[in-house]
Structure 1
Amino acid sequence: MSAVSLSAAHRRSAFAVCDPAYSAAEPYPPLAPEPQWLYPRSEYECFLLRKMRDEVGRAGLNVGYPGIFHEPVATVRFRAEIPAGELRLRVSGIAEAELDGVPLPLPSPGPDGFRHVSTGAGTLLVTVTSPDIRSALPALCAPGITWEAAIDGDDFAPAVPGGIPEGTELPAVSVPLTVLGPGKWDAGTEVLAYVELHAPEKPDFGCGESLPELENRNPAHFEQSLALVQTAPNVWRTPTPLAFRYLRSGNAEQVSCRALFEPAVYRGAFAADPELTEIWMHAAYTLRLCRHHFLIDGVKRDRLPWVGDLALSLLANAYVFGDPAPVRRTLAVLGRAGIREQHLNGIVDYSLWFLICHDLYQRYWGDRDFLELQRRELVDHIEVLLEQSRSGIFLPSAGTWLFIDWVDCPKESALQVLFHWSLQAAERLAERLGESALAGRCREHARQLKSRLFAEAFDSRRGLFFQTPGEPDSGFGRHANFFALLTDLPAPEQRPAIAEALLGDGLPPVGTPYMAALEIWALHRSGASGRAVERLRRIWGGMLRQGASTFFEAWREGAGEQERHSFYGRPYGLSLCHAWSAGPAALLPLIYADCEPAADGWEQYRAREVFPGKEFQLTVPLPGNELFIESGPDGFRIGSRLPPPPRR
């Protein structure tokens, strides 16, 4: 998209751009072309996750990361049917080959890194072993040939492409710093960056997402390692990237930073009044900073992927970047180990979000190849949940972490309503996979679960779900009720009572912008779109009025400066850039135009005028296309770069 062909939404929202690596034309920063290395399914993603976990340790981040994760293997077998002739073969590791069971000598690599093998036609088997699995994966590159790969005996499956075997590093962009005062600098916005300082001796040094964190000198309250290494005479550098907006040093003569960014293009855009436009753009940048190889939760903490957080970051990514790759990698790595030993990320409700995220991924991108690649994990995942809940219909939560949200209240009803939502997702996933019997079992279990929820967890007089099934005195909470609206659990005549309660102040508030976004989505779907926008302005506009450049992990209205930045009992523990708070990037298109796919991959879509006469412009990235929606006094108009899919 060239400057002259930018959409109306891109042009009108340009004033709100806050990303130093912003591009609406092509991916930026650019990545150098790489050979297409091949791996067994999920091996590359699991290798990247282990590298990220090691990096978190070196960065001194105060984070726990529960769960069981697949460890990459040191030996991989690749198999292909090849024609007679010369084969160009490149391997990472120690390779042995055989053709139709007969050993095939491999020549040394040439100057281009490839081995040029003259061979007859047949079945070629190449076994590759990494001498140091923590440094590089066993991998193969052979253009023009279709390969299978196996890590366990003869269980071959299509090999999948990935980055370089050592793990692809994110490119860096120089970000200018503004002098705040003697020894203090401002990057202008939150960044994740390496810092370089020039000083005659080792500099004293500090950083912060906020000014109060910048001024902290107590190492007990550091949220990141402030270590420096000398790289040249009088030059010092942080060995790991730091998340910050502000820097300080009392004796540095020169300070610079190079910020890390996953290459991206802002294919989507939203412009309405200035406040909402800025909210959308800052939400988009919040997500951008959390787009690494995976969609991670935050750049100061934890720099790791969590499957529950993915539900919102997936949606935001769909409306901002339209890029399936980080979603696909995140689903692949988090689901690889399965849940027979432990729930995903060690959290029972995150095992439910996993199915909801897979369903949303198919809805927005229609990636059936990936779905088929994940068949084994998905079918087993669904089977485990059905087995665990067979005896009592409800999904047990004893002995595991039931999270839902950072709130201190009973959460059992919320878990079971979320289970109903995940069963609906599981049914749709099973149908896509052609697993009709499994889909029927999910549908029947969801029917029985719905019946039990209304029998044991619903107050028909109030028209609300209470917090613990079988305990009407457990009180009413928000989560079970807005989950119910999102999963279409209540009948149409029951929805207004729930929406009215959510609009009032009689229920305890949610704990995070993560859940606030889902509640706002539920309000819109219940017809309270105007009130939904009001709440969005209050929360995310409130953060902008407090000087936020990215959106916080949690937001407490009216909190003082010290309380505003504390979390987990730590004065600067709150992450001020958290992907689960990027919800407005999806919510504003969903609310203002009711725009969402009506069939997988946007083969059909929905869009309508929600606020007649209200002016806004919206660009929505579709697979291989873009929708352009404009509304104002002259009406509601929809266009596209290519002939659009049919509306429904």
Structure 2
Amino acid sequence: MLTPYLKQAVAVLLLLLSAATAHAQTAPKATWIWYPGDYEIWLGNQMQNRRTERGTFFPVFWRMDSHYVLIDFHKDFDLAQPEEVELRAEGQYNVKLDGKPLTGAPTRLTVPAGKHRINLKVYNQATPPAVFVWGKTIASDGSWLVTYEDKEWIDASGKTSDQSGTTWLQAGAWNFDSPEARPSAYKLPTEERRAARVERTAQGMVVDFGRETFGYIKLHGLQGKGQVAVYFGESKEEALATETCETLEYLPVDQPQKGDRTTSLSKAFRYVNIRPEAGVRLDSVSLLYEFAPVAERGKFRCSDAQLNKIWDVAAYTMHLNTREFFIDGIKRDRWIWSGDAYQSYLMNYYLYFDTPTVNRTQFALRGKDSVTSHINTIMDYSFYWFISVYDAYQYTGDKTQVQQLYPRMQSLMQYVLGRRNPDGLLEGQAGDWVFIDWADGLSKKGEVSFEQILFCRSLESMALCANLVGDQPDAATYQKLAADVRAKIFATYWNASKGALVHSQVNGQPTSNVTRYANMFAIFFNYLSPEQQQQVKQSVLLNPQVPKITTPYMRFYELEALCALGEQPYVLKEMKSYWGGMLDLGATSFWEEYDPAKKGAEHYAMYGRPFGKSLCHAWGASPIYLLGKYYLGVKPLTAGYATYEVAPTLGGLQWMEGTVPTPQGDIAVSCSARQIKVRGASGSGTLRFRSKTKPRCKGASILAKGNGQYEMPLAPSREYQVTYQAL
């Protein structure tokens, strides 16, 4: 039994705990903040300059920008009572309270009750200026305002200007949520993993880690004096080819006693060939696996075991290429390419829904003004960037990224518009790389129809983003430009006798050449009439006479176009053949390019080098997007899944089930030939399906649309079970 004293003590303790809990629930979450895009550009520079080929530094092909070195941070507060605030900064800094500078570089500040403004101005040449501020109610976060150009001035009397013309943006932030977690010190985490197999050789050992991986090699029990050569290989053939493997590292050793050593740079590999010199010995080898800590929310399973494996390997491929940013491939470039990243964004929306990585990648790609070239120097890659910004808003419903990037969108579009020819179309100029795809003999001359299609979509995206930020005059301008370009595309390139858009116009004359690229984009951009769609399907997409696509990069879009036309049974066979073909050859991640006609080690060659091809390339993971959007059938209809569609299509499968992530939770779908189950976390959904018989669902209203098509509204947080008969 408690004494009165103990009862009182317990009561006080409970009161204190209650107060602490209430404070924890109401206290703002502080995080390190910086000028938006600056940390992303700096971090991108750090990552992309790690590339080496056979030990030689290999920098990017394009201009690299840097962060602004002097940044002003501020926020206004209205305090009910005085508050003590802690301050930290990365760089040399001063602090002002209500415009009055404080002595020195204080790490603690008392803010009186009432309305006040806190300013920190930070200089840092080496890393992006950043601040961390926290108190009971005051915290640094994305609501703080920042500028790199403070236009305040003081007249001869000492009076500060009443207006400055300064452009303030919301601060950038990520997940550095403690004063010790300095942004400049960020590194991806690692975990140690053992080898799957070790083969001792006369020269040393060949180690197999069981599948494609990424990280550092750790040598255990290293002793002696000399050198250890480490040859990395995505295939065993590459690891053994000491003269032609793409990546290697030489480790000098001077260790009288046994110890451990780790390679200096993370690399991509499955196999490593370890060759110590005669005076050096080692016991074993392990891997420090380096990874981005992202969670897989999207899931997919079905009646086809091979397709399940394709999903799993695609997800693993995506995971390996999700690092600080979405990169192209883990072995060779390890750079941020806009075309590769655009596909990664789409796959991310169906696997992780990791918005911060999308945002970082978009900022890093765009860089700073002034604009002197296309993104990555590639015309089409600038267009993918424009389109990706509006796509991100459509999936997330968050306007912040659009607002932060819109000025940079405007300046890049001005650059693009300034490079039009007299006909208002685009063709490659000096310094432009017109990429499209890796394809032998693909002409890039003249005004290529594919580039005009992407240009048109970019102008439409600009108009939508202009409306989002309240820039109605420019929205109208961009929309008119888009309409003009679209009219010119069909006046110039549509060939009625071929039932297709031709590939290009050279010297004012349309060519007769038909390729797949512009035609398949015109389908899922919804630029074609229903009649034209059917013509393109037969004359291009299903026509073996039109040159085939061999890269997963463009197979992504080709199969999306076919799915948009309702050809899921055909696409299922193509996925099993194409991605299944790589699995049959032992792939543990999906490749940069796959041509079934090649044999043996021919599959590893590219760019004139025997092992130049990437065997783990982000664009190889596209089944994630296709299965989530066109088989499970989930897509947002309005921003952030406020309204959405679920249109499951078995496409030859007996059953399938999975989840698609959204900003407010997951949408779960399962479907067989006789039953559909759907549950959405939030938003208003519409289930669309086809049935031979009249469908039933308890407590739901099903609307017949004719020709066996039905619609059913979906309320949030409720599971629906529909009985039907699939057509």
Q: With structure 1 as the length reference, what TM-score do the two structures score?
A: 0.88
Residue number among 522, 526, 531 corresponding to 1:484 in the alignment: 522
Residue number among 296, 307, 314 corresponding to 1:266 in the alignment: 296
Separation of aligned partners in 2, 1:288 and 1:602: 24
Cα deviations by residue, 1:258-281 (Å, 9 ceiling, x for unpaired)? 111110111111111111111111
**474-483 vs 620-629, which deviates more?**
474-483
CA RMSD of aligned residues (A): 2.3
2:246 aligned counterpart, secondary structure = coil
The answer to whether the 8 A contact 2:53-2:247 is kept is no
Separation of aligned partners in 2, 1:421 and 1:456: 17
Q: Is residue 2:588 matched to residue 1:549? A: yes
The answer to whether the 8 A contact 1:281-1:585 is kept is no
Q: Name the structure 2 match of 1:197.
A: 219
Structure-2 change in CA distance of 1:601 and 1:351 (3 Å): same
5+ long unaligned stretches in structure 1: 1-33, 109-114
Displacement of 1:425 in angstroms is 2.3
Separation of aligned partners in 2, 1:42 and 1:80: 19
Q: Is residue 2:97 matched to residue 1:79? A: no
What is the letter of the counterpart of residue 337 of structure 1? K
Residue number among 362, 381, 384 corresponding to 1:353 in the alignment: 384
Cα deviations by residue, 1:367-405 (Å, 9 ceiling, x for unpaired)? 212211222112333343344338422123222111111
Displacement of 1:36 in angstroms is 1.6
Residue number among 147, 150, 154 corresponding to 1:150 in the alignment: 147
Q: Name the structure 1 match of 2:468.
A: 432
Separation of aligned partners in 1, 2:105 and 2:563: 64
Q: Name the structure 1 match of 2:251.
A: 228
Residue number among 122, 125, 130 corresponding to 1:128 in the alignment: 122
Q: Is residue 2:499 matched to residue 1:463? A: yes
1:55 aligned counterpart, secondary structure = coil
Q: Name the structure 1 match of 2:156.
A: none
1:267 aligned counterpart, secondary structure = coil
The answer to whether the 8 A contact 1:485-1:495 is kept is yes
Cα deviations by residue, 1:561-609 (Å, 9 ceiling, x for unpaired)? 2221111111111111111111111111222132211111111111223
The answer to whether the 8 A contact 1:61-1:224 is kept is no
Residue number among 302, 323, 330 corresponding to 2:361 in the alignment: 330
Separation of aligned partners in 2, 1:536 and 1:490: 25
Displacement of 1:305 in angstroms is 1.0
Displacement of 1:60 in angstroms is 4.0
Residue number among 443, 467, 482 corresponding to 1:410 in the alignment: 443
Residue number among 419, 423, 426 corresponding to 1:392 in the alignment: 423
Cα deviations by residue, 1:497-525 (Å, 9 ceiling, x for unpaired)? 21122122111122410111111001111
The answer to whether the 8 A contact 2:197-2:210 is kept is no
Separation of aligned partners in 2, 1:471 and 1:536: 37
Displacement of 1:222 in angstroms is 3.2
Separation of aligned partners in 2, 1:250 and 1:390: 58
Structure-2 change in CA distance of 1:295 and 1:246 (3 Å): same
Percent identity of paired positions between Structure 1 and Structure 2: 27
Q: Is residue 2:302 matched to residue 1:305? A: no
Displacement of 1:359 in angstroms is 1.9
Q: Name the structure 2 match of 1:23.
A: none
What is the letter of the counterpart of residue 43 of structure 1? D
**116-125 vs 596-605, which deviates more?**
116-125
**327-336 vs 373-382, which deviates more?**
373-382
Q: Is residue 2:83 matched to residue 1:50? A: no
Q: Name the structure 2 match of 1:588.
A: 627
Q: Name the structure 2 match of 1:572.
A: 611
The answer to whether the 8 A contact 1:290-1:579 is kept is yes
Separation of aligned partners in 2, 1:479 and 1:271: 31
Q: Name the structure 2 match of 1:625.
A: 665
The answer to whether the 8 A contact 2:630-2:648 is kept is no
Q: Name the structure 2 match of 1:26.
A: none
Separation of aligned partners in 1, 2:323 and 2:298: 19
The answer to whether the 8 A contact 1:62-1:301 is kept is no
2:232 aligned counterpart, secondary structure = strand
1:270 aligned counterpart, secondary structure = strand
Separation of aligned partners in 2, 1:497 and 1:356: 26
Displacement of 1:118 in angstroms is 2.9
Residue number among 208, 214, 218 corresponding to 1:186 in the alignment: 208
The aligned runs of 1:18-37 (5 Å cut-off) are 36-37=31-32
What is the letter of the counterpart of residue 602 of structure 1? Y
Q: Name the structure 2 match of 1:89.
A: 87
Q: Is residue 2:167 matched to residue 1:137? A: no
Separation of aligned partners in 2, 1:107 and 1:555: 58
What is the letter of the counterpart of residue 223 of structure 1? E
What is the letter of the counterpart of residue 256 of structure 1? S
Separation of aligned partners in 2, 1:62 and 1:271: 43
The answer to whether the 8 A contact 2:48-2:59 is kept is no
Residue number among 36, 55, 61 corresponding to 1:41 in the alignment: 36
What is the letter of the counterpart of residue 166 of structure 1? S
The answer to whether the 8 A contact 1:191-1:259 is kept is yes
The answer to whether the 8 A contact 2:591-2:620 is kept is yes
Q: Is residue 2:149 matched to residue 1:118? A: no
Displacement of 1:87 in angstroms is 2.1
Separation of aligned partners in 2, 1:572 and 1:184: 18
Displacement of 1:308 in angstroms is 1.3
Structure-2 change in CA distance of 1:237 and 1:548 (3 Å): same
Structure-2 change in CA distance of 1:229 and 1:43 (3 Å): farther
Cα deviations by residue, 1:399-457 (Å, 9 ceiling, x for unpaired)? 21111111231241111122122223222222222222322222222222222222221
Q: Name the structure 2 match of 1:494.
A: 532
Separation of aligned partners in 2, 1:99 and 1:629: 54
Q: Is residue 2:171 matched to residue 1:159? A: yes
Q: With structure 2 as the length reference, what TM-score do the two structures score?
A: 0.79
Structure-2 change in CA distance of 1:347 and 1:60 (3 Å): farther
Cα deviations by residue, 1:119-139 (Å, 9 ceiling, x for unpaired)? 556333322222xx33x3321
Separation of aligned partners in 1, 2:682 and 2:415: 43
Separation of aligned partners in 2, 1:600 and 1:237: 47
Displacement of 1:342 in angstroms is 1.0
Structure that is richer in strand per residue? 2
Separation of aligned partners in 2, 1:230 and 1:645: 64
| Number of residue pairs the alignment of both structures matches | 603
Q: Name the structure 2 match of 1:249.
A: 274
Work out which structure has the larger RCO, using CA pairs closer than 8 Å and 6 or more positions apart in sequence.
1
Q: Name the structure 1 match of 2:240.
A: 215
Structure-2 change in CA distance of 1:67 and 1:467 (3 Å): same
Separation of aligned partners in 1, 2:270 and 2:367: 35
Cα deviations by residue, 1:148-184 (Å, 9 ceiling, x for unpaired)? 2221234332222244232410000122211243222
Separation of aligned partners in 1, 2:333 and 2:60: 8
**609-618 vs 459-468, which deviates more?**
609-618
